[in-house]
Amino acid sequence: MAVGELITDQLPTTPSRKVPVQFGTRVLLGGLAGATIGTSAGLWIVGAILGAMGAVVGTLGGATARARLAASFGRDRPAALVEDAVAIIGAVLIIAAL
């Protein structure tokens, strides 16, 4: 799924992450991921809430950061690659911390 996200994120026909279907899917999957991680500590509900909140912050914050980077680069592709790198490194650090 992550590889698919990395590929489709680069396509010019990919809709905004802030439209209802994409946004809702991100929040749902963020909650599921958070619940999965929280289950190991017996805190799946807290994990689900934090995961969903992280998805909202990541979606809106990522879109804003990418737009600003794209404006400074003068095009979107370098900004998309920076955003992807930050997301991958962040995910690796979160999993490594567990």
Sole residue written with tokens 């992280």: 54
pLDDT at 65 > cutoff 80:
yes
pLDDT at 97 > cutoff 90:
no
Structural domain spans, the chain: 24-97
Query: Around Cβ 50, how many Cβ atoms within 10 Å?
Result: 18
- Render pLDDT for 11-55 as a digit per residue (tens, 0 to 9): 888 888 899 999 999 999 999 999 999 998 999 999 999 999 999
Q: Would you state the pLDDT for residue 63? A: 92
Q: pLDDT confidence of 72, banded at 50, 70, 90?
A: very high
Q: pLDDT confidence of 9, banded at 50, 70, 90?
A: confident
Total residues found in the chain within this entry: 98
Q: Would you state the pLDDT for residue 98? A: 78
Residues 63 and 18 sit within 8 Å (Cβ to Cβ)? yes
Q: Would you state the pLDDT for residue 44? A: 97
Q: Would you state the pLDDT for residue 82? A: 92
